[in-house]
Structure 1
């Protein structure tokens, strides 16, 4: 694997290889150390889980990680993303982890020879989040074939929704979208399911937050109103299948898409996803760096 820009660029075999390697790390296998390698983490959007789990993964792999602060860089002088990346390539970076607000920002970086790991591009793709989600599902069920997965919430603006829909469908799961009609994604109408039906019939309920920063029209619902109509609350939780699980990429709007009391309920795997994020990003970085040796 040379880069990781989208999950669609990976074969099913490559996805399973990354999942199984991440699980061996979680089970205690010690990773190979890459003490002569340097990764630069370029985050042009705010992040907690993605940025810090990359930093933890890099630490555990023995990689020298260099943080990048866009606010104090030459980006503030008008330097392009390409020139920034070309500079980091010139000074010896081995991998660039990039989160950027532009969809498919990486299309402008085709002449950069340093491997790029996409930490999220606008509302387009979030491949490392998708892979850790796949890992969490596989860890719980040992399969994808035949599972029913509902992704509910702000579908239109969610890079998580699009990546997961494509990957899970390829791996044999039945994937449905749910949530407010105003946030449906054109072209996926046939994949929509009423949320109450999804809660009662699906094996995985994956909730998404309302992405206020990507909306240009003021939301008309209250927290309570959204939770009652589209959120996972205790009344719906009690109707879930016995072995079903709850997922959420976070950050969460507590008591909006999910009632606060359910964030750490028995069926919740939300913090488990965060834990798995470190192991999956270890798996990804190891795979890329070994290809470069």
Structure 2
């Protein structure tokens, strides 16, 4: 692995290698790397979980984190993303993490970089580290993927999480069904009937309504109506199989995608996903740096 930019670039063997290393780290602790490495997290979109868990993983690995704030960088003077990245490479960075609002921003970079790039999310494109932590969370609970019924419900067309997980989970042997309003289906086959899926799914993954990517178009229905049609209500939760798990990449719109009372329920893995993000991202960083030095 030279870079982690989308799930298509990873084989199933590489996915499982990351998961197994993350499991070891969760069980035995994250050990510091063999020397000091330098990293920067270039986030051009808001982030709580992804950015902070990357920083936690980096610091627990013993890395030096070089600060970056787009509002005080030369990007405000017109500097391109390419030149920003090459600048960081020139001053001695060993690895860079980027989140950017432009889909596939990484295509102009990867063939011209001498250090690994991790995609922390590109527009409505891909979010590979979120997919990998989701996979880890599912594997931690079920011990396998083959034949699992995964229902992903919400704002599918704007979700890089949905696109990344559709790619990875299907290749690992899971059955993936999308549930959403017709106007949010994008490229995927879908159903609008969540009730028809609720009793058979092993994993119910809910997605945030991404208002910021709707180009000013509002919902065709109220938040209450969305919750009634496409959200995990208390009534729907009672129909879940006892072994089923509830997931959400967060941030959560409480009472919209999921009833407030269910976020920390026994079947919810939402906070476990956040915790697992640290171990998965630490595993990815360690494998990328190891591959670079071999």
Query: TM class, shorter-chain normalised?
Result: over 0.9
Task: Give the TM-score taking structure 1 as reference length.
Answer: 0.97
How far apart are 1:181 and its partner, in Å?
1.3
1:205 alignment counterpart: 204
How far apart are 1:28 and its partner, in Å?
2.0
2:24 alignment counterpart: 24
2:213 alignment counterpart: 214
Structure-1 separation of matches of 2:166 and 2:273: 17
Work out whether residues 150 and 177 of structure 2, in 8 Å CA contact, stay in contact via their aligned partners in 1. Answer: yes
Structure-1 separation of matches of 2:67 and 2:137: 28
1:123 correspondence with 2:124: yes
The range that moved more, 213-222 or 118-127, is 213-222
Deviation per residue, 1:39-66 (Å, 9 max, x gap): 1110000000000000000011001111
Work out whether residues 206 and 248 of structure 2, in 8 Å CA contact, stay in contact via their aligned partners in 1. Answer: yes
Residues 227 and 193 of structure 1, relative CA distance in 2, 3 Å threshold: closer
Structure-1 separation of matches of 2:220 and 2:85: 41
In structure 2, the residue corresponding to 1:8 is in which secondary structure? helix
2:175 alignment counterpart: 174
Task: Give the TM-score taking structure 2 as reference length.
Answer: 0.97
Residues 78 and 34 of structure 1, relative CA distance in 2, 3 Å threshold: farther
Aligned length: 291
Work out whether residues 6 and 126 of structure 1, in 8 Å CA contact, stay in contact via their aligned partners in 2. Answer: yes
Moved >4 Å (runs of 4+): none
Residues 184 and 30 of structure 1, relative CA distance in 2, 3 Å threshold: closer
Structure-1 separation of matches of 2:34 and 2:211: 39
1:58-207 equivalences in 2 (<5 Å):
58-109=58-109, 110-186=111-187, 188-189=188-189, 191-192=190-191, 194-207=193-206
In structure 2, the residue corresponding to 1:238 is in which secondary structure? helix
Deviation per residue, 1:200-231 (Å, 9 max, x gap): 11000000010000002122322211111110
Work out whether residues 32 and 60 of structure 2, in 8 Å CA contact, stay in contact via their aligned partners in 1. Answer: no
Q: Which runs of 5+ in 1 are unaligned?
A: none
How far apart are 1:128 and its partner, in Å?
0.2
Work out whether residues 148 and 202 of structure 1, in 8 Å CA contact, stay in contact via their aligned partners in 2. Answer: yes
1:10 alignment counterpart: 10
Q: CA RMSD in A?
A: 1.1
Work out whether residues 248 and 270 of structure 1, in 8 Å CA contact, stay in contact via their aligned partners in 2. Answer: yes
How far apart are 1:81 and its partner, in Å?
0.2
The range that moved more, 235-244 or 224-233, is 224-233
Work out whether residues 33 and 61 of structure 1, in 8 Å CA contact, stay in contact via their aligned partners in 2. Answer: yes
Work out whether residues 2 and 288 of structure 2, in 8 Å CA contact, stay in contact via their aligned partners in 1. Answer: yes
Structure-2 separation of matches of 1:34 and 1:263: 39
Structure-2 separation of matches of 1:193 and 1:31: 46
Structure-2 separation of matches of 1:124 and 1:4: 14
Q: Which runs of 5+ in 2 are unaligned?
A: none
How far apart are 1:135 and its partner, in Å?
0.1
How far apart are 1:285 and its partner, in Å?
0.3
Deviation per residue, 1:76-126 (Å, 9 max, x gap): 000000000010111000001000000000111131222100000000000
